[in-house]
Structure 1
Amino acid sequence: MPHSGSTHADRFPDADGYYGDFGGNHWPPHLGPVLDELAGAYEEIRSSPDFRRELDTVRTGLQGRPTPVHHLENISDEIGGAGLYVKREDLNHTGAHKINHCVGFALLARRMGKRKLIAETGAGQHGVALASAAARFGLDCEVHMGAVDVDKVDANVGLMRLLGARVVPVASGQATLKEASDSALHAYSEQHGHALYAIGSAIGPHPFPMIVRDFQSVVGQEARAQFLSITGGTLPDHVVACVAGGSNALGVYSGFLDDPEVALHAVEPLGRSARPGQHAATLTFGRPGTLHGARSVVLQDDGGGPSTVLSVASGLAYPGVGPEIAMLRATGRLSVDTASDEEAVATFVRVARSEGIVPALESSHALAFAIRLAAGRPPTERILVNLSGRGDKDVDFVLARQDGGGVLGG
């Protein structure tokens, strides 16, 4: 089923960096030339055959691409509904999809003559991926991380430091992903002469959301071809991904955005409840606003500032969403659902015990919804889930939580 004519990626963003009503550049005006430099450099290299060959070589050698599409036969049989398949981004080097755009940013930095990469991280997967890419290409690396997350995923902090990165704990506010992003953006504004901001998701001012989407599109391109091969020419009926900023979601959606018969689903963290401050379900409860340099949908408090958020998955504890994701929801191309902390943890354990795969808590949100969806669909349908990361970082937390409830005995 080849695509024809103008594709979604050709149409969005527009020349001003907008995805419909969302996006743009809402950074301080004095940083406009910095973003113009980045946009110009990216436009030059994105069509370069030499750059593409080098990127493909790194993806094969360092990352271990392509990652497979895998049928979850045991859970599919247990459910008796639609078949469940996963795109195994957890098998990437460093354990998640994040390295897809980290190696791209590292190559871009080197071509721009930058000596350093700066970024934020939540669960640590982006930080570890960036530290690995920086080490591979001989670049300095500075990762900003909320103090709460530093304590929660100390194994990833150790990996970043082992790989040579400087980890900057951020103790302000909630001390999680939003504050880490604030800190990293500030650091970049001071160091842009010699450093490149390798943003952690498809968020921020133009051209960052476009660059991340493009580097992540390898997920969807592979998944589409692999699914057609597995099924003898049939596309999935549903494609599911967890969503905060949107990097893994746009990665897998990119292979199917121009196929209207494929339903796209975004799964947000409902946390402990639907009460304000107890979740991070931005598309479900947010409203239009500006966050980290882009117009999008934002969870806001009574004063219009970013709301307090909560999720068992550090990588989803963010009060905003990428502008392209916001547009896809607004146009009806994307449906939005939620999964609670409790459901995500239960799915983490179920997938481990039924399939021998340990998914990240972030990915467990997508899997939880997909299992619910499959139970209500006929066996003739197929659901593809982006398994965006592995759960090594979450094992101790889940064991402690579940053992405390007497769940894992025996």
Structure 2
Amino acid sequence: MKNSFTHNLPDNKGYFGEYGGSFIPPQLESIMAEISDAYDAIVQEESFLEELNDLYQHYVGRPSPIFHAKNLSAKHGAQIYLKREDLNHTGAHKINHCLGEALLAKKMGKTKLIAETGAGQHGVALATAAALVGMECDIYMGEVDIAKEHPNVVRMHILGAKVVPVTHGLKTLKEAVDAAFEAYLTDPVNQFYAIGSVVGPHPFPKMVRDFQSVVGNEARQQIQTMTGKLPDHLVACVGGGSNAMGLFSAFLDDESVAMHGVEPAGTDIEVTGKHAATISKGTPGVMHGFKSYMLQDEGGEPSAVYSVASGLDYPSVGPQHSYLKDIGRVQYATASDQQAIDAFFELSRTEGLIPAIESSHAVAHATVVAQNNPGSIILVNLSGRGDKDIDFVVDQYGKDYGIG
């Protein structure tokens, strides 16, 4: 868990350049300070790191392998490799930080974990971790996403979590965060809000990034063993940005490695604004306790956002991503709903791997990078598998691809 993370950011107030910080009600200031101090102390404890690494190996199934997608590579003219986070227990990268947050909460004497979820992967992962450590768990989820991601809702119930439907606004991820934060305010002493990405007030962007850094640390060693060199390009989808920061973190100081974060362009990024391309189209603002790029109206209120991927439709983004965008270290691109669905089927039918729709955005852009950089080595974070999405995809798009 030791990395330079580019100039040892964040600073002691949680800032990555001008982004991050902690914009919270006064009653939470001492609670967040307690979490920050507890985290900084616990990651120095050998027993904690040994317990977490043991769970990564024997419970999650780490290290996750890298797979050379030879068929996709031949089709697009570059060597495309996939970091197989879809093979983790619970089906995505989310388990990496959920285990860390659950262990921290348990050691702090908290009795309940609460969280938001969009695609349901964070909810399933946290419900799994809560069952493992013996804690109560409430998951807030928008009604729209409950309908779209029904298999994950069932999994959360089976694992013993309470799924709380969110019925206001657009009934998706942003509203789920609002509801979870409101619930957390009712009892921050006994509850632990296990934020699901590299967002929120300090120390969460740092903490989630650090737990997810296992992805990049593994990948850096694995890709060099497989190819004899570092990759030319890294590609990962970005909503809040945890899977991307997990991969990018180990390569930030390698100037030869280009990095690409892929945001959802939705159905119409230019005219109607039905998208969630926060960095590409947003401006700096404050939401959910931190400063970052966000999609906002003239009054500074969060704009309505949309993506076919429930895990990406969030109107802000992790503050470290905003910093990396400003200094030019990461290039942020977009993929539309249709491009993501095309990539979903292309990877399924070319390599026999059904990706999450979120991850499909990264796969879509990786093929663009391949075509523009023939012969290069491209490492894609396949952050989740598509089990949760198949009913929705077949219902909405199946006929276009010969199903039904």
- TM-score w.r.t. structure 1 length? 0.96
**Distance in 1 between the 2:6 and 2:115 partners?**
25
User: Match of 1:57?
Assistant: 54
User: Match of 2:303?
Assistant: 307
Judge conservation of contact 1:69–1:227 (CA < 8 Å) in 2.
yes
User: Match of 2:199?
Assistant: 203
User: Match of 1:293?
Assistant: 289
Aligned ranges 1:4-83 → 2 under 5 Å: 7-8=4-5, 11-79=8-76, 81-83=77-79
Structure 1 residue 78: Cα displacement: 1.3
Aligned ranges 1:221-240 → 2 under 5 Å: 221-232=217-228, 234-240=229-235
**Distance in 2 between the 1:160 and 1:8 partners?**
34
1:264 is aligned, of 252, 259, 262, to 259
Judge conservation of contact 2:347–2:353 (CA < 8 Å) in 1.
yes
Judge conservation of contact 1:241–1:248 (CA < 8 Å) in 2.
yes
User: Match of 2:331?
Assistant: 335
Judge conservation of contact 2:5–2:250 (CA < 8 Å) in 1.
no
User: Match of 1:319?
Assistant: 315
Structure 1 residue 403: Cα displacement: 2.8
- The aligned amino acid for 1:408 is G
Structure 1 residue 9: Cα displacement: 5.7
Judge conservation of contact 2:52–2:100 (CA < 8 Å) in 1.
yes
Aligned length: 402
**What SS does the corresponding residue of 1:390 show, helix, strand or coil?**
coil
Q: Deviations over 1:140-180 (max 9, x none)?
A: 10100011101111110010010000101101111100000
- The aligned amino acid for 2:367 is I
**What SS does the corresponding residue of 1:255 show, helix, strand or coil?**
helix
1:395 is aligned, of 390, 394, 398, to 390
Give % identity: 54
Structure 1 residue 302: Cα displacement: 3.1
Structure 1 residue 352: Cα displacement: 0.3
Q: Deviations over 1:194-242 (max 9, x none)?
A: 111110000000001000000000000000010111012x000000100
**What SS does the corresponding residue of 1:181 show, helix, strand or coil?**
helix
- The aligned amino acid for 2:344 is F
Aligned ranges 1:137-216 → 2 under 5 Å: 137-216=133-212
Structure 1 residue 255: Cα displacement: 1.4
Judge conservation of contact 1:399–1:408 (CA < 8 Å) in 2.
no
**What SS does the corresponding residue of 1:192 show, helix, strand or coil?**
coil
Structure 1 residue 276: Cα displacement: 4.6
Gaps in structure 1 of 5+ consecutive residues: none
**Distance in 2 between the 1:276 and 1:7 partners?**
41
**Distance in 2 between the 1:48 and 1:252 partners?**
24
**Distance in 2 between the 1:311 and 1:56 partners?**
34
Judge conservation of contact 1:277–1:307 (CA < 8 Å) in 2.
no
**Distance in 2 between the 1:324 and 1:398 partners?**
32
User: Match of 1:99?
Assistant: 95
User: Match of 2:402?
Assistant: 408
Deviates more, 1:185-194 or 1:164-173: 185-194
- The aligned amino acid for 1:258 is D
**What SS does the corresponding residue of 1:254 show, helix, strand or coil?**
helix
Structure 1 residue 409: Cα displacement: 4.8
Aligned ranges 1:337-352 → 2 under 5 Å: 337-352=333-348
**Distance in 2 between the 1:173 and 1:362 partners?**
22
**Distance in 2 between the 1:223 and 1:340 partners?**
27
Structure 1 residue 116: Cα displacement: 1.1
**Distance in 2 between the 1:155 and 1:223 partners?**
30
**Distance in 2 between the 1:255 and 1:276 partners?**
37
Structure 1 residue 72: Cα displacement: 0.5
- The aligned amino acid for 2:388 is K
User: Match of 1:113?
Assistant: 109
**What SS does the corresponding residue of 2:251 show, helix, strand or coil?**
coil
**Distance in 1 between the 2:61 and 2:75 partners?**
31
User: Match of 1:247?
Assistant: 242
**Distance in 1 between the 2:166 and 2:273 partners?**
20
- The aligned amino acid for 1:303 is G
